[in-house]
């Protein structure tokens, strides 16, 4: 046995990173699973103790393990980004690395007073232990000695085992069900990575919701195993749907096997579906790269036809009553108006209303009612009848048909303008906060305004930004031979509706505009005029004007504004536009 003393190596981010807290014991344990993922583990076993016992938490993986040198140079380097030195992907399985902050190794100490590690690779097992009371006893964590014990082990063994003892009484005892829910969010679709909590593999049946498992035979395919869950609240996976497995291998991405093509199915419910289909009989119909089933496979269609009604009926059983009640409440209110319509229009109105109910399933009535009553107002007027016919006949994916209907209705442009105006209101709030921040730089305001030229009112197309006068002249097809070719006006726009250029000189919001700022801007214009045969307006934007900034006897076409003026003017334009549209 070889014993060696090492010390933690700390970088400047440690104090900030350690101040971040984990919201639960389960979240802290998930960080240790992330480390196993980054070590290319194929399996992770987590043993949780029974409540009110002194048994430890054990996390064991079969990853690559670490040598003593790796422990000293990488593992004990706290708060360093693993990707900075070793890349974004793992060495063996080329997984995207999850560890980012370099403090996940300490996650166990959020739940326990003692963390012991044993890691095996290349015939050597290295062990060390860290205790919270020892950490608290030193002023500087770099002074804490870490005794690493090295001993021979089976050369075929590899992986890491972490044992967490003396669990904190102040934290809730780790719950297996909650831990599975946390792990499902990150690893519910992971392949070649098996997670076991107290001996049970993480699976679809761990989803908090309605679970169903069935086996049936499909002609030409043989036995098909289907297991899926309808989540109670929201999706437990970043990729909802049904995953297809053939001979245990994943084929392609999750899909909804026709559920997403149902006209009367609320699309919001799709995110609640999480499951798998095992159909080994499709082996001969899988592409060479195992990324999909061959196009137009009759066997896949047969599997789809068998799976679809099972999943559809499960959703109707779970949510059918909710869907009916939502429709009934609103239809009671509109029944009288519908009955007064001619029969052919009533049919279109009912179908359009159903689409609104599907789209806004689960939303409060106050959110849904305006859309339905707008439809009723439209259908009651004969000149809008065509619109509802378009909407009723349009499938979910027939965007062109829906767009045509909105255009006939006269709503497309108005809806776009209102949506754009609301977005611009939010942008102006953010820009105003940026302008009021003392540390805001010139380049930040430059970037924000350059990408949002509507702030300046006129319809201007961008010509060039922060390039030299020489390059600007070249772009205009003129040869520049002046002696100030490296001058950089902040923004040159070419051209407005009158054919004039606009040269903008930005200053930081807290900068008081002085005479020298005026002189700098007009010098840029003089240089440009040597090669640009166009009128050039000048706009200087910054903070408040200083007493020496010229107010009289300025060159023509030179304007000055502060950022608050720009923002206020833009706000007035938005409010005027909305009042006109109303």
E strand or H helix that includes residue 334 = helix 298-339
Percent share of the chain, pLDDT over 90: 22
Residue 335, in any domain of the structure: no
Boundary (domain end) residue, out of 386, 409, 432? 409
- Contact present, 102 and 80 (Cβ < 8 Å): yes
Q: Is residue 519, in this structure, part of any structural domain at all? A: yes
Answer yes or no: do 100 and 184 share one domain. Answer: yes
pLDDT of residue 460: 47
Q: Which of 156, 174, 197 is the last residue of a domain?
A: 197
What was the pLDDT predicted at 305?
A: 93
pLDDT band (50, 70, 90) for residue 207? confident
DSSP string, 152-168: E--TT--EEEEEEEEE-
**Higher per-residue pLDDT: 467 or 292:** 292
How many other C-beta atoms can be found within 10 angstroms of the C-beta atom of residue 170?
Answer: 5
pLDDT at 323 over 70: no
DSSP string, 181-206: HHHHHHHTT-SS-EEEETTEEP-GGG
d(CA 318, CA 323): 10
- How many residues make up the chain in this entry? 582
Chain-centre distance for alpha carbon 105: 25
Q: How many C-beta atoms lie closer than 10 Å to residue 110's C-beta?
A: 18
Instruction: Assign residue 106 the CATH number of its domain.
Output: 3.30.565.10
Whether 382 is in a domain gets the answer: yes
Tokens of 296: 């137009």
**Token representation of residue 555:** 């060159």
Same domain, 135 and 284: no
Residue 417 inside a domain? The answer is no
Whether the per-residue pLDDT at 324 is higher than 90: the answer is no
- Whether 379 and 402 share a structural domain: yes
What would the mean pLDDT of 276-288 be, rounded to a whole number? 91
Residue 373 and residue 377: Cα distance in Å, rounded? 6
What's the whole-number mean pLDDT along residues 527-549?
Answer: 85
**What's the whole-model pTM score?**
0.53
Q: Which of 409, 442, 457 is the last residue of a domain?
A: 409
CB atoms within 10 A of CB 323: 19
Pair 8, 139 in one domain: yes
Give a yes or no: residue 516 inside a domain. yes
Residue 416 included in any domain: no
531-559 average pLDDT score: 86
pLDDT the model gives residue 463: 44
* b/e sequence 47-67, b meaning 16+ C-beta within 10 Å: ebbeeeeeebbbbbbbbbbbb
233 and 295 fall within a common domain = yes
**Which residues are within 8 A (CB) of 194 and not within 5 positions of it... i.e. 6 or more apart?**
42, 43, 44, 201, 202
Same domain, 387 and 522: no
**Mean pLDDT throughout 229-234?**
80
Of 501, 470, 502, 475, the C-alpha closest to 488 is 470
**pLDDT average, residue stretch 6-22:** 44
Q: What was the pLDDT predicted at 141?
A: 62
Query: What pLDDT score was predicted for residue 24?
Result: 75
Domain-embedded: residue 527: yes
153 and 245 fall within a common domain = no
* C-alpha distances out from residue 469 to 318, 394, 480, 507, 529, Å: 68, 54, 8, 19, 10
CA 128 to CA 1: how far, in whole Å? 13
Residues of the chain above pLDDT 70, percent: 69
Helical (H) or strand (E) element with 312: helix 298-339
Cα separation of 196 and 201, whole Å? 4
pLDDT tens digit sequence for 333-381: 667 777 777 776 677 777 777 777 666 666 666 667 777 777 777 666 6
Task: Specify the residue for token string 């040198």.
Answer: 69
Quickly state the pLDDT bin for 462 (edges 50, 70, 90).
very low
Distance CA(282)–CA(289), nearest Å, equals: 14
Has residue 184 been placed in a domain?
yes
pLDDT band at 107 (very low <50, low <70, confident <90, very high): confident
Residue found under tokens 């590690």: 117
Shared domain check, 207 and 137: no
Same domain, 474 and 400: no
Q: Which residues contact 162 (CB under 8 A, 6 or more apart)?
A: 32, 58, 59, 60, 108, 115, 116, 117
Any idea what the CATH number is for the domain that residue 449 is in? 3.40.1350
467 with 385, same domain? no
Class of residue 494 by CB neighbours under 10 A (exposed 0-12, middle 13-18, buried 19+):
buried
Residue 256 sits in a domain whose CATH number is: 3.30.230
Alpha helices of 41-159 — where are they, by DSSP H?
68-70, 82-86, 132-136
The span from the CA of 78 to the CA of 10, in Å, is: 5
Q: At what angle do helices 412-436 and 563-581 cross, to 10 degrees?
A: 160
- Using alpha carbons only, what angle is made at residue 272 by residues 270 and 277, rounded to the nearest 5 degrees? 80
Does 351 share its domain with 404? yes
Residue 8 Cα to chain centre, angstroms = 34
Strands 241-246 and 273-278: parallel
Name the domain count of the chain.
Answer: 4
Is pLDDT above 60 for 483?
no
What is the spatial distance between Cα 6 and Cα 76, in angstroms, rounded to a whole number?
8
Domain match, 380 and 484 both = no
Q: Which domain holds residue 352?
A: 344-409
């Amino acid at each position: 046995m070889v014993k060696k003393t090492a010390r933690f190596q700390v970088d400047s981010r440690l104090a900030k990173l350690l101040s971040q807290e984990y919201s639960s014991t389960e979240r802290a344990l998930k960080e240790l699973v992330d480390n196993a993922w980054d070590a290319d583990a194929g399996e992770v076993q987590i043993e949780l103790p029974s409540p009110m016992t002194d048994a430890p938490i054990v996390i064991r993986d079969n990853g690559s393990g670490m040598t003593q040198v790796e422990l000293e140079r990488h593992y004990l380097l706290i708060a360093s980004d693993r990707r900075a030195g070793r890349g974004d992907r793992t060495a063996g399985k080329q997984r995207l690395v999850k560890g980012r902050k370099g403090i996940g190794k300490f996650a166990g100490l959020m739940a326990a007073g003692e963390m012991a590690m044993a890691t095996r690779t290349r015939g050597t097992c290295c062990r060390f232990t860290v205790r919270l009371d020892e950490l608290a006893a030193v002023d500087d964590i770099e002074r804490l000695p870490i005794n690493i014990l090295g001993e021979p082990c089976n050369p075929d063994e590899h992986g890491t085992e972490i044992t967490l003892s003396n669990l904190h009484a102040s934290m809730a005892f780790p719950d297996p069900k909650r831990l599975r829910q946390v792990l499902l969010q990150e690893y519910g679709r992971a392949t070649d990575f098996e997670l076991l909590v107290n001996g049970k593999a993480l699976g679809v049946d761990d989803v908090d919701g309605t679970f169903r498992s069935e086996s049936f035979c499909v002609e030409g395919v043989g036995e098909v195993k289907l297991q899926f869950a309808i989540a109670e609240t929201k999706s437990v996976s970043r990729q909802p749907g049904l995953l297809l497995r053939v001979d245990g291998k994943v084929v392609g991405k999750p899909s909804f096997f026709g559920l997403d093509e149902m006209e009367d199915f609320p699309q919001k419910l799709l995110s609640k579906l999480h499951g798998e289909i095992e159909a080994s009989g499709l082996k001969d119909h899988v592409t060479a790269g195992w990324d999909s089933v061959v196009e137009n496979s009759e066997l896949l269609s047969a599997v789809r036809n068998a799976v679809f009604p099972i999943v559809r009926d499960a959703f109707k059983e779970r949510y059918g009553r909710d869907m009916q009640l939502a429709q009934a409440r609103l239809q009671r209110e509109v029944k009288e108006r519908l009955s007064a319509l001619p029969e052919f229009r009533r049919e279109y109105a009912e179908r359009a209303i159903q689409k609104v109910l599907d789209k806004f399933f689960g939303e409060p009535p106050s959110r849904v009612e305006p859309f339905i009553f707008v439809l009723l107002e439209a259908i009651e007027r004969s000149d809008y009848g065509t619109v509802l016919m378009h909407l009723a006949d349009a499938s979910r994916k027939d965007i062109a048909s829906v767009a045509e209907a909105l255009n006939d209705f006269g709503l497309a442009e108005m809806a776009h303008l209102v949506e754009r105006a609301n977005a611009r209101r939010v942008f102006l709030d953010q820009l105003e906060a940026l302008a009021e921040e003392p540390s805001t730089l010139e380049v930040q305001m430059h970037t924000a305004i350059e990408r949002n030229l509507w702030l300046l009112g006129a319809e201007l197309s961008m010509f060039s930004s922060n390039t030299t006068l020489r390059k600007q002249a070249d772009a205009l097809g003129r040869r520049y031979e002046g002696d100030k070719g490296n001058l950089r006006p902040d923004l040159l726009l070419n051209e407005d509706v009158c054919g004039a250029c606009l040269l903008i000189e930005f200053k930081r919001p807290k900068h008081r505009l002085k005479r020298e700022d005026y002189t700098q801007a007009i010098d840029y214009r003089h240089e440009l005029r040597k090669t640009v045969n166009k009128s050039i307006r000048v706009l200087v934007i910054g903070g408040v004007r200083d007493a020496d900034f010229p107010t009289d006897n300025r060159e023509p076409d030179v304007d000055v504004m502060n950022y608050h003026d720009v923002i206020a003017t833009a706000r007035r334009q938005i409010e005027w536009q909305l009042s006109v549209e109303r």
